[in-house]
């Protein structure tokens, strides 16, 4: 089937198209240069046309999501909708059910989402949820930062074996890349402890976060994976944590990049939670300057923000000691889920309020990061869903980024607490994003960061993943019309995935199965064998599951998209 | 040596790393010894698991049956039985699909689609066993871990209201008490085992410390431990029948371990204070985490009872007792649970899959079941067969057909197939899918008729 999206205003930053009126054509699921006269014409005159959205960091599928859903029926009861002829009923606000997650991303013009934390032992669970989430391609990242085998390889500085381990484990768990969460801290949580800073060793293992992050980054580059290491540094959410964040970035400064498809060797995730100054929540202030300066002056780091949206939400992270601290602060019900030999996880509901000084400070620091990082290719739009707020708030964040007037208004009329401007420089930042920059932080940038070669741009040959929004960029002043911007980006006029129209005028018209992206490393067979010989005795002794039953069988990935990588190339 | 059974040597082949389809331990290290297409021996399993697997043909349902006018079940062919089941479900106003805990996630997918189509209630055994635990989890939190954390780290294992030696015979052997873990290289000798139970159970006999507090004394006892943890002086000399010095000593011991694990069973969920017992146990564990590391875990009974809760939560947002009658999901304890619906006589068609309500439900609920059409999908004859109007013989997950299950700690396991099912039986997944297809057809015809 051939289509022409006619007369749209196209924003395609990867191809340096910034608001040109032109046609976008696609055929049999791919973008093409030209179509025949029989092509179906979709009139999108003066509407915004962009590649479909790519969320570079969210928690949408897996064991901790389900703990959240089981123990928070009060959240599931929000957002319940009646089933329709083609849609199943929805539920949930911060932790929507799988079908709801797919529908809601689709309505916002998104096509790809990264599930940022998969414990390999429970990877089958994540893949089951991915299969139940329609209309999206999902990119799972596997947790490595507290894995006992990784701790040992890092301690002994055996980078080649570590690379073999990563290659083997990505294949076992069917994941796309390497995620690191509070390296050594989640292992310390096995004893109810945490580590503080990059050089505080994990109990017993006597290895530091610095050694783990560095070793994993080196191994990641040895393999030449499409994505860099994806780092959630130590000390998340603690006042005065920005030095830890900066030293984590510095630790990876000299690592040589081995990839032509991405620019960075480290992705710093939900930077907002890692950009606090002060010594306690009494005197906390913004450390956004330090993070933004580092990112502006160095090309090896990209970030996503983790913007606080001022909603009631459900926090969940493999940084379990931090979640326990949060429980001690808020007193709201605490869930925890540690995974043998691999990681930990904690879940706590949080009510972010504009009336609360700390939450308002977090809100402002997130916006500061967006506005202070000069190059939009280095920063991505996320809320670390659901940690700083649910993903359905992305359009609202876009409206804040595009309107200084709205930001000032929120501070002036006390929608947010005065800490937002007394303890940050937000009030002095007049920068406003334009549509091209929005397209960069929600589409082109994330695609580049993940090394995607088939999406994130309207390049001929790429997947026909396209979003059209009912906004006329030449006839709107986003600065003064924040509500129209939020509304426009909330419900896509068209969401097109692999050439199929899934959403029309904000309504889902078609439901398709999702795809799962994973990375298959070739050329490490020898190292992998050596690694398995070393790992298997310990695996048999210390896991509670047989190796045969540990791996994710192909059956759990009915629609895989495999990225094959030649190690070292 | 009257009890000595010689090892099975007369077999043709071995299938390794099979997963036990009995309790929530989901031991996945079983070896099946196969001869003539049957499992003649099972290595590594406990008696419960081995007997279920080896005696798979005992009282086995082999052919579909429909209860006739005369009140007797009569054998029939698959088409007739499936048509009858589909007709009953398509015509139902308030159907309940109950069970699911002893079948695969793959089967549940079709069951959920069917439930959403006809507006049924989907519920599982949690409604009569660990339902109060889930309610408590919703009140107070859910600090758990996988069982390997316990094996590798725990120096105190505490069983409460659970006689694991009888109900989950390999739990202590494989996961908690006896195995040598990374940080517990001497296994049992590196751990203190505590049992809190009014009964001197087989688990208590295996323990270092047994606290036999009074029946229904659970809440008071945990409350006292919490008070001690918070530095309060106990006012009463005896707490639930236990001298206060003993309570203080236990609280101190719990505070001073490196990693503690509390396992609770139905003895906690079904005594006087029900979910409040679990509430306070969870809060106690949260308190203990200010001093050291503690986790807790419900001792789930069936091999996929946790799986159903997980599956329903990611598909619908709610773990059990999910009602689709209004075209969207509702979950209201006391309103949308099976027992309540049956005792209120709301339900008009009941499908039970891989469960035995005839054996487990309270009298009032069973009485209503006897009065309405019941469809049974199962592998064995049981009390539910006696009240069933349509009987559909399924196959044995983890033995005759593969399937996904979730262990009590949430670890997903692919349970592989080892032998072929009896020729006349069908896989649960196939049966539910067939019913779904047939109900869709009936609904389409009704729709076409209505639009004329």
Residue A118 belongs to domain with CATH number? 3.20.20.140
- pLDDT at res. B1: 52
Give me the DSSP letters along A155-184.
HTT-HHHHHHHHHHHHHHHT-SEEEEESTT
Distance CA B282, CA B289 (A): 11
Instruction: Using the structure block, give the residue that is written with the tokens 């390889």.
Output: A153
- Interchain CB distance below 8 Å, B116 and A543: no
- Show me where the domains of chain B are located: 13-54, 65-129+303-450, 131-298
Mean pLDDT, all residues of chain A? 97
In this structure, the answer to whether residues A368 and A286 fall within a common structural domain is yes
Distance CA B194, CA B257 (A): 12
Is the per-residue pLDDT at A518 higher than 70? Answer: yes
- pLDDT band at A357; cut points 50, 70, 90: very high
Among candidates B37, B41, B60, which has minimal Cα distance to B50?
B41
- pLDDT at res. A28: 96
In this structure, the answer to whether residues A21 and A127 fall within a common structural domain is no
Among candidates B132, B133, B149, which has minimal Cα distance to B294?
B149
Please list every residue in chain A whose beta carbon sits closer than 8 Å to the beta carbon of residue B140.
333
Distance CA B382, CA B376 (A): 10
Residue A7 CA: distances (Å) to CA of A22, A26, B228: 5, 14, 73
The mean pLDDT of A426-441, rounded to a whole number, is 98
Distance CA A349, CA A352 (A): 10
Please list every residue in chain A whose beta carbon sits closer than 8 Å to the beta carbon of residue B139.
333
B264 in contact with A, Cβ within 8 Å: no
Distance CA B325, CA A340 (A): 41
In this structure, the answer to whether residues A290 and A276 fall within a common structural domain is yes
Residue B208 CA: distances (Å) to CA of A501, B196, B201, B205, B262: 65, 11, 13, 8, 15
Beta strand pairing status for B30-35 and B38-43?
antiparallel
- pLDDT band at A341; cut points 50, 70, 90: very high
- According to DSSP H, which parts of B184-333 are helical? 202-205, 218-229, 244-255, 266-269, 275-288, 305-316
- Interchain CB distance below 8 Å, A336 and B317: no
In this structure, the answer to whether residues A173 and A189 fall within a common structural domain is yes
How many interchain CB pairs under 8 A, A with B? 195
In this structure, the answer to whether residues A65 and A148 fall within a common structural domain is yes
pLDDT in tens, chain B (452 residues): 567 778 899 999 999 999 999 999 999 999 999 999 999 999 999 999 999 999 888 899 999 999 999 999 999 999 999 999 999 999 999 999 999 999 999 999 999 999 999 999 999 999 999 999 999 999 999 999 999 999 999 999 999 999 999 999 999 999 999 999 999 999 999 999 999 999 999 999 999 999 999 999 999 999 999 999 999 999 999 999 999 999 999 999 999 999 999 999 999 999 999 999 999 999 999 999 999 999 999 999 999 999 999 999 999 999 999 999 999 999 999 999 999 999 999 999 999 999 999 999 999 999 999 999 999 999 999 999 999 999 999 999 999 999 999 999 999 999 999 999 999 999 999 999 999 999 999 999 988 887 77
- Distance between A233 CA and the closest CA of chain B, angstroms: 23
Residues 6 or more apart whose Cβ sits within 8 Å of residue A71: A333, A335, A347, B137, B138, B141, B142
- According to DSSP H, which parts of B43-146 are helical? 47-54, 78-90, 105-118, 131-140
Q: Which residues span the domain enclosing A484?
A: 2-50+460-508
- Interchain CB distance below 8 Å, A340 and B148: yes
Q: How many Å separate Cα B246 from the centre of its chain?
A: 34
- Interchain CB distance below 8 Å, B151 and A544: yes
- pLDDT at res. B451: 75
Residue of A nearest to B290 (CA): A192
Cβ atoms < 10 Å from Cβ of B242 = 19
Structure tokens at B44: 């590594």
* pLDDT digit string, tens, across residues A138-159: 999 999 999 999 999 999 999 9
- pLDDT at res. B172: 97
In this structure, the answer to whether residues A322 and A365 fall within a common structural domain is yes
In this structure, the answer to whether residues A44 and A78 fall within a common structural domain is no
A119: helix, strand or coil: coil
Among candidates B223, B292, B385, which has minimal Cα distance to A192?
B292
ipTM of the complex as predicted: 0.97
* pLDDT digit string, tens, across residues A402-411: 999 999 999 9
Beta strand pairing status for A48-51 and A2-12?
parallel
Q: Is the dihedral of CA A326, A543, A203, A219 positive or negative?
A: negative
* pLDDT digit string, tens, across residues A309-322: 999 999 999 999 99
| Interface test with chain A among B183, B260, B313, by most A beta carbons within 10 Å | B313
User: Does residue A566 lie in a domain region?
Assistant: no
Contact B73, B67 (CB under 8 A): yes
- Number of structural domains (chain A) is 2
> What Rg do the C-alpha atoms of chain B give, in angstroms?
24
User: Does residue A514 lie in a domain region?
Assistant: no
In this structure, the answer to whether residues A320 and A201 fall within a common structural domain is yes
In this structure, the answer to whether residues A138 and A268 fall within a common structural domain is yes
Q: Where are the beta strands (DSSP E) in B345-395?
A: 349-353, 374-378, 390-393
Q: So what's the architecture of B131-298 in CATH?
A: 3-Layer(aba) Sandwich (3.40)
User: Does residue A525 lie in a domain region?
Assistant: no
User: Does residue A533 lie in a domain region?
Assistant: no
In this structure, the answer to whether residues A258 and A337 fall within a common structural domain is yes
The mean pLDDT of A496-502, rounded to a whole number, is 98
Q: Where are the beta strands (DSSP E) in A33-136?
A: 40-43, 48-51, 53-58, 110-118
- Interchain CB distance below 8 Å, A191 and B411: no
A519: helix, strand or coil: strand
Q: What's the half-sphere exposure (Cβ side, CA atoms, 13 Å) at B427?
A: 19
B180 in contact with A, Cβ within 8 Å: yes
| Interface test with chain B among A92, A203, A549, A550, by most B beta carbons within 10 Å | A549
Please list every residue in chain B whose beta carbon sits closer than 8 Å to the beta carbon of residue A122.
146, 410-412
B147 in contact with A, Cβ within 8 Å: yes
In this structure, the answer to whether residues A247 and A162 fall within a common structural domain is yes
- Interchain CB distance below 8 Å, A336 and B28: no
- Interchain CB distance below 8 Å, B29 and A546: yes
B256 in contact with A, Cβ within 8 Å: no
The mean pLDDT of A474-501, rounded to a whole number, is 97
* Vertex B182: Cα angle to B181 and B186 (nearest 5): 55
User: Does residue A98 lie in a domain region?
Assistant: yes
- Distance between A539 CA and the closest CA of chain B, angstroms: 11
Share of chain A above pLDDT 90, in %: 99
- Interchain CB distance below 8 Å, B134 and A70: yes
Is the bond preceding residue A386 a cis peptide, omega within 30 degrees? yes
Structure tokens at A418: 């005065």
Q: So what's the architecture of B65-129+303-450 in CATH?
A: 3-Layer(aba) Sandwich (3.40)
* pLDDT digit string, tens, across residues A179-199: 999 999 999 999 999 999 999
Q: Which of A404, A426, A449 is the C-terminal boundary of a domain?
A: A449
Give me the residue from B140, B141, B152 closest to A340, CB to CB: B152
- Distance between A335 CA and the closest CA of chain B, angstroms: 4
- Interchain CB distance below 8 Å, B174 and A544: yes
As beta bridge partners, residue B413 has B405
- pLDDT at res. B450: 79
* pLDDT digit string, tens, across residues A269-306: 999 999 999 999 999 999 999 999 999 999 999 999 99
As beta bridge partners, residue B209 has B194
In this structure, the answer to whether residues A180 and A71 fall within a common structural domain is yes
- pLDDT at res. A449: 98
Contact B151, B257 (CB under 8 A): no
- pLDDT at res. A19: 96
């Amino acid at each position: 089937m051939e289509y022409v999206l006619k007369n749209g205003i196209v924003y395609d930053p990867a191809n340096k198209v910034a608001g040109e009126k032109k046609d976008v054509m696609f055929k049999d699921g791919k973008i093409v240069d030209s179509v025949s006269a029989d092509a179906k014409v979709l009139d999108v005159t003066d509407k915004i046309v962009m590649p479909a959205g790519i969320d570079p960091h969210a928690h949408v599928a897996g064991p901790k999501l389900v703990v959240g859903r089981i123990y928070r029926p009060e959240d599931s009861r929000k957002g319940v909708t009646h089933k329709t002829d083609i849609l199943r009923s929805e539920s949930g606000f911060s932790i929507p059910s799988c079908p709801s997650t797919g529908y809601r991303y689709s309505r916002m013009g998104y096509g790809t989402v990264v599930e940022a934390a998969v414990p390999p032992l429970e990877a089958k669970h994540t893949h089951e949820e991915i299969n139940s989430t329609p209309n999206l391609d999902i990119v799972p990242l596997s947790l490595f930062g507290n894995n006992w085998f990784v701790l040992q390889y890092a301690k002994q500085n055996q980078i080649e074996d570590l690379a073999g381990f990563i290659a083997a484990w990505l294949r076992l768990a069917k994941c796309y890349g390497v995620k690191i969460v509070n390296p050594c801290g989640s292992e310390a949580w096995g004893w109810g402890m945490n580590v503080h800073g990059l050089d505080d060793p994990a109990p017993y293992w006597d290895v530091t976060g610095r050694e783990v992050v560095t070793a994993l980054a080196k191994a990641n580059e040895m393999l030449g994976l499409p994505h860099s290491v994806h780092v959630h540094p130590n000390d998340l959410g603690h006042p005065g944590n920005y030095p830890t964040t900066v030293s984590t970035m510095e630790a990876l400064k000299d690592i040589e990049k081995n990839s032509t498809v991405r620019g960075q060797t480290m992705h710093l995730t939900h930077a907002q939670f890692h950009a606090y100054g002060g010594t306690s929540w009494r005197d906390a202030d913004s450390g956004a300057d330090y993070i933004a300066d580092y990112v502006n002056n160095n090309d090896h780091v990209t970030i996503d923000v983790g913007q606080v949206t001022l909603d009631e939400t459900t926090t969940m992270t493999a940084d379990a000691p931090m979640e326990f601290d949060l429980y001690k602060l808020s007193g709201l019900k605490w869930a925890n889920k540690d995974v043998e030999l691999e990681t930990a996880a904690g879940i706590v509901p949080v009510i972010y309020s504009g009336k609360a000084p700390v939450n308002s400070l977090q809100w402002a620091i997130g916006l500061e990061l967006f506005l202070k990082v000069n190059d939009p290719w280095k920063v991505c739009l996320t809320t670390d869903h659901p940690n700083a707020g649910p993903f359905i708030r992305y359009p609202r964040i876009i409206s804040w980024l595009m309107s200084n007037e709205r930001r000032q208004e929120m501070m002036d009329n006390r929608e947010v607490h005065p800490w937002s401007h007394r303890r940050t420089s937000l009030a002095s930042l007049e920068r406003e994003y334009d549509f091209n920059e929005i397209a960069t932080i929600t589409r082109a940038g994330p695609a580049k960061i993940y090394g995607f070669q088939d999406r994130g741009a309207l390049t001929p040959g790429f997947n026909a993943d396209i979003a059209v929004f009912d906004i006329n960029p030449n006839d709107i002043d986003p600065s003064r019309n924040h509500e129209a911007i939020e509304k426009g980006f909330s419900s896509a006029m068209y969401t097109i995935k692999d050439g199929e129209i899934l959403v029309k005028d904000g309504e889902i018209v078609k439901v398709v199965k999702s795809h799962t992206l994973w990375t298959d490393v070739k050329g490490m067979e020898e190292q992998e064998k050596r690694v398995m010989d070393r790992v298997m005795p310990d695996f048999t002794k210390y896991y509670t599951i047989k190796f045969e039953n540990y791996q994710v069988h192909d059956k759990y990935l009915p629609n895989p998209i495999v990225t094959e990588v030649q190690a070292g190339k | 040596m009257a009890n000595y059974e010689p090892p099975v040597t007369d077999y043709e082949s071995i299938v390794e790393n099979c997963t036990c389809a009995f309790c929530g331990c989901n031991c996945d290290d079983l070896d099946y010894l196969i001869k003539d297409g049957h499992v003649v021996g099972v290595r590594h399993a406990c008696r419960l698991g081995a007997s279920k697997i080896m005696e798979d043909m005992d009282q086995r349902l082999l052919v579909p049956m429909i209860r006739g006018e005369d009140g007797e079940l009569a054998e029939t062919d698959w088409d007739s039985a499936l048509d009858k089941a589909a007709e009953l479900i398509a015509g139902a106003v308030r159907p309940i699909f109950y069970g699911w805990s002893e079948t695969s996630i793959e089967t549940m997918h079709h069951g959920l689609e069917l439930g959403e189509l006809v507006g049924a209630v989907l519920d599982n055994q949690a409604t009569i066993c660990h339902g109060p635990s889930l309610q408590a989890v919703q009140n107070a939190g859910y600090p758990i871990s996988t069982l390997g954390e316990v094996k590798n780290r725990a120096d105190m294992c505490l069983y409460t209201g659970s006689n694991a030696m009888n109900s989950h015979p390999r739990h202590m052997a494989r996961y908690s008490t006896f195995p040598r873990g990374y940080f517990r290289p001497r296994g049992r000798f590196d751990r203190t085992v505590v049992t809190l139970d009014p009964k001197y159970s087989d688990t208590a006999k295996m323990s270092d410390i047994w606290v036999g507090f009074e029946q229904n004394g659970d809440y008071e006892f945990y409350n006292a431990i919490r008070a001690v943890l918070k530095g309060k002086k106990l006012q009463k000399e005896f707490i639930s029948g236990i001298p206060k010095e003993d309570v203080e000593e236990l609280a101190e011991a719990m505070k001073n371990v490196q990693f503690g694990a509390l396992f609770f069973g139905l003895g906690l969920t079904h005594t006087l204070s029900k979910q409040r017992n679990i509430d306070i146990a969870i809060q106690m564990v949260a308190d203990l985490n200010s001093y050291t590391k503690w986790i807790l875990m419900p001792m789930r009974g069936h091999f996929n009872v946790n799986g159903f809760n997980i599956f329903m939560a990611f598909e619908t947002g709610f773990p059990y007792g999910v009602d689709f009658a209004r075209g969207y999901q509702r979950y209201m304890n006391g309103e949308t649970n099976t027992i309540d619906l049956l005792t209120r006589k709301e339900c008009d068609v009941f499908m039970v899959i891989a469960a035995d309500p005839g054996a487990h439900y309270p009298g009032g609920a069973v009485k209503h079941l006897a009065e309405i059409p019941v469809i049974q999908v199962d592998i064995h004859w049981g009390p539910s067969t006696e009240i069933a109007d349509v009987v559909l013989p399924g196959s044995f997950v983890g033995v005759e057909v593969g399937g996904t299950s979730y262990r009590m700690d949430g670890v997903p396991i692919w349970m592989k197939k080892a032998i072929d099912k009896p020729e006349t039986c069908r896989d649960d997944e196939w049966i539910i899918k067939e019913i779904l297809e047939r109900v869709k057809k009936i609904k389409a015809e009704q729709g076409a008729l209505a639009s004329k």
